[in-house]
C-alpha cells in the first residue's frame, strides 16, 4: 500500500473521531518496550506507511516500567506490559480501555490465548497480547557436562537450586534475569509451595533457598545474559526462552562451536504473556491505536517472532513463521511441556511488597 494512500486512511479515521484538520495531522507515537523486543524495521515500516513518527524507549525490568507508569505523566502512548502487572495498572486507572472499532486486526488474535489473558484482564478490555514465552534454564551443554558430568540434571531446577551444583557451575558463570515476579514463583514451585502463594511465610522459605545459592550467582540482569551466553562469559542462566534462542542462533552464525540449549524443568516453569496497552494519559491515543493495529497484522508480528524467537498471539501469523522457529521446541514448546507450565498472576499489594523486599535482599546478598 502506498504511503500517501495510508496517510489518507489515517486522516479519514481521525476525522471520524470528530477531530479538526490540525488535530488530525500525523503526530508521533511514543512507545515503551522491553529492550530489543521488536523486529528492527517494524517502527520504520510503520512510519513509512502511516506518516506517524515513532519515539521508542526501552526498559529492562518490569519494576522500572511499572513505577514510571504509576507516577503518571510518562509521556508514553503504547507500553508493553506483562500479564501479571495488568490488574494493578487497571485498578490504578493507568490504562485506557481499548476501542476495538479502531483495531480491525483484532480478529487475527488466538481466542484461546485471549481466554487465558482474562485472568488478568477480564473481558480483554485493556490489553492486546503481543508475544508470549517461558522462563527456564539456558545452558552451554559442553561446559555444564565438563563440570557436572554427562548426567547433569539439566531437566530439573536442581541444576541451579542445589548448592553443590551451583558452587561448581560458578566456575563458568551463572546468571539470573532481574525478574522477581518470575524467579520467586519458580523458587516457590520448586519447594512444593503455590507459585502464587498468599502466605508471607512461604516467601521467607523462598528467600532462604535463594540466599543459599546467591554467592554463586554472577549477576542479575535481563539483557546482558544473551550476549554473555553467546560469548561464553556464562554457562547457565535462568532466563527467557527467546533470549536463549537468540544466543543459540548467534552462536551458530558465528560458528563458535558452542552448543547452547534450553530446558523447561520437569518440576514446572512460568508461562507469561506480554501485552500492548494504551495509557490513559497518552498524548496521542489515536496514533497509539494505529500502532497497535499495525502490530496485529499477521505479517508484521510474524517478522518480530522470526527475529526474536518468541511465539506470538496471532493465530493467522503461524503459517508465516519460519520453519526453523516454528519447529524449535525452545520457541514453541511441545504439548507435554506446556502441560507443566504455570501462569504468572498478580499479587495483592501487601504481598507484592513482601516479594519486593525478598528480591532486594537476594540481589544485594544482605
The answer on 284 and 258 residing in a single domain is no
CA–CA separation, 178 vs 83, rounded Å?
17
Cα 123 to its chain centre, rounded Å, is: 22
> What's the pLDDT at 25?
47
56 shares a domain with 109: yes
Whether residue 8 is found in the same domain as residue 157: no
Q: Are both 21 and 158 inside the same structural domain? A: no
64 and 156 co-located in one domain: no
> Which domain does 61 fall in, by range?
3-133+272-333
Q: What is the pLDDT of residues 243-295, one digit of tens each?
A: 999 999 999 999 999 999 999 999 999 999 999 999 999 999 999 999 999 99
Q: Which residues of 249-282 are buried (b: 16+ CB within 10 A; e: fewer)?
A: bbbeeeeeebebebbbbebbbbbbbbbbbbbbeb
Into how many domains does the chain fold?
2
Query: Does one domain contain both 152 and 279?
Result: no
Q: How far apart are CA 35 and CA 13, in angstroms?
A: 31
What pLDDT, on the 0 to 100 scale, is given for residue 349?
Answer: 86
- Encode the chain in three state secondary structure: CCHHHHHHHHHHHHHCCCCCHHHHCCCEEEEEEECCCCCCCHHHHHHHHHCCEEEEEEECCHHHHHHHHHHCCCCCCEEEEEHHHHHHHHHCCCECCCCHHHCHHHHHECHHHHHHHCCCCHHHCCEEEEEEEEEEEEEEHHHHHHHHCCCCCCCCCHHHHCHHHHHHHCCCCEEECCCHHHHHHHHHHHCCCCCCCCCHHHHHHHHHHHHHHHHHCCEECCCHHHHHHHHCCCCEEEEEHHHHHHHHHHHHHHCCCCCEEEECCCCCEEEEEEEEEEECCCCCHHHHHHHHHHHCCHHHHHHHHHHHCCCECEHHHHHHCCHHHHCCCCCCCCHHHHCCEEECCCCCHHHHHHHHHHHHHHHHCC
196 and 340 fall within a common domain: yes
How far is the C-alpha of 2 from the C-alpha of 50, rounded, in Å?
A: 9
Whether 278 and 220 map to the same domain: the answer is: no
CA 242/CA 245 separation, integer angstroms? 5
Residue 352 and residue 218 share a domain:
yes
Same domain, 63 and 128: yes
Both 228 and 356 in one domain: the answer is yes
Task: Supply angle C-alpha 282, 285, 290, rounded to 5.
Answer: 135
From first to last of its 366 residues, the chain has per-residue pLDDT tens of 333 344 344 444 444 444 443 344 458 999 999 988 999 999 999 999 999 999 999 998 888 999 999 999 999 999 999 999 999 999 999 999 999 999 999 999 999 899 989 989 999 999 999 999 999 999 999 999 999 999 999 999 999 999 999 999 999 999 999 999 999 999 999 999 999 999 999 999 999 999 999 999 999 999 899 999 999 999 999 999 999 999 999 999 999 999 999 999 999 999 999 999 999 999 999 999 999 999 999 999 999 999 999 999 999 999 999 999 999 999 999 989 989 999 888 888 899 999 999 999 999 998
327 in the same domain as 342: no
Indicate which CATH number applies to the domain containing 169: 3.40.190.10
Distance between CA 34 and CA 57 in Å, rounded?
8
What are the pLDDT digits (tens) for 22-54? Answer: 344 458 999 999 988 999 999 999 999 999 999
The pTM is what? 0.83
Amino acid at each position: 500500500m502506498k504511503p500517501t494512500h495510508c496517510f489518507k486512511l489515517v486522516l479519514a479515521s481521525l476525522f471520524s473521531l470528530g477531530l479538526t484538520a490540525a488535530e488530525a495531522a500525523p503526530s508521533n507515537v511514543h512507545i515503551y518496550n522491553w529492550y530489543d523486543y521488536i523486529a528492527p524495521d517494524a517502527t520504520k515500516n510503520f512510519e513509512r506507511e502511516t506518516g506517524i513518527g515513532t519515539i521508542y524507549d526501552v526498559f529492562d525490568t518490569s519494576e522500572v516500567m511499572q513505577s514510571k507508569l504509576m507516577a503518571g505523566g510518562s509521556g508514553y502512548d503504547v507500553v508493553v506490559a506483562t500479564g501479571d502487572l495488568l490488574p494493578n495498572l487497571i485498578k490504578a486507572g493507568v490504562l485506557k480501555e481499548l476501542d476495538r472499532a479502531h483495531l480491525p486486526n483484532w480478529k487475527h488474535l488466538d481466542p484461546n490465548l485471549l481466554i487465558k489473558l482474562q485472568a488478568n484482564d477480564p473481558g480483554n478490555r485493556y490489553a492486546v497480547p503481543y508475544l508470549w514465552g517461558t522462563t527456564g534454564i539456558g545452558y552451554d551443554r559442553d561446559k555444564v557436562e565438563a563440570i557436572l558430568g554427562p548426567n547433569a540434571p539439566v531437566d530439573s531446577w536442581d541444576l541451579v537450586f542445589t548448592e553443590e551444583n551451583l558452587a561448581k557451575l560458578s566456575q563458568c558463570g551463572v546468571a539470573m534475569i532481574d525478574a522477581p515476579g518470575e524467579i520467586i514463583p519458580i523458587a516457590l514451585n520448586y519447594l512444593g509451595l503455590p507459585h502464587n502463594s498468599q502466605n508471607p511465610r512461604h516467601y521467607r522459605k523462598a528467600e532462604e533457598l535463594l540466599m543459599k545459592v546467591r554467592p554463586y550467582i554472577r549477576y542479575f540482569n535481563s539483557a546482558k545474559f544473551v550476549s554473555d551466553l553467546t560469548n561464553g562469559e556464562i554457562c547457565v542462566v535462568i532466563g527467557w526462552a527467546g533470549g536463549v534462542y537468540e544466543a543459540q542462533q548467534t552462536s551458530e552464525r558465528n560458528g563458535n562451536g558452542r552448543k547452547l540449549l534450553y530446558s523447561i524443568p520437569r518440576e514446572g516453569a512460568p508461562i507469561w504473556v506480554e501485552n500492548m496497552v494504551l495509557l490513559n494519559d497518552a498524548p496521542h491515543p489515536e496514533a497509539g491505536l494505529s500502532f497497535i493495529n499495525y502490530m496485529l497484522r499477521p505479517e508484521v508480528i510474524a517478522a518480530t517472532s522470526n527475529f526474536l524467537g518468541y511465539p506470538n498471539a496471532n493465530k493467522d501469523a503461524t503459517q508465516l513463521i519460519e520453519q526453523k522457529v516454528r519447529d524449535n521446541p525452545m520457541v514453541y514448546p511441545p504439548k507435554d511441556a506446556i502441560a507443566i507450565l504455570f501462569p504468572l498472576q498478580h499479587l495483592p499489594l501487601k504481598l507484592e511488597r513482601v516479594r519486593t523486599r525478598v528480591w532486594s535482599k537476594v540481589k544485594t546478598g544482605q
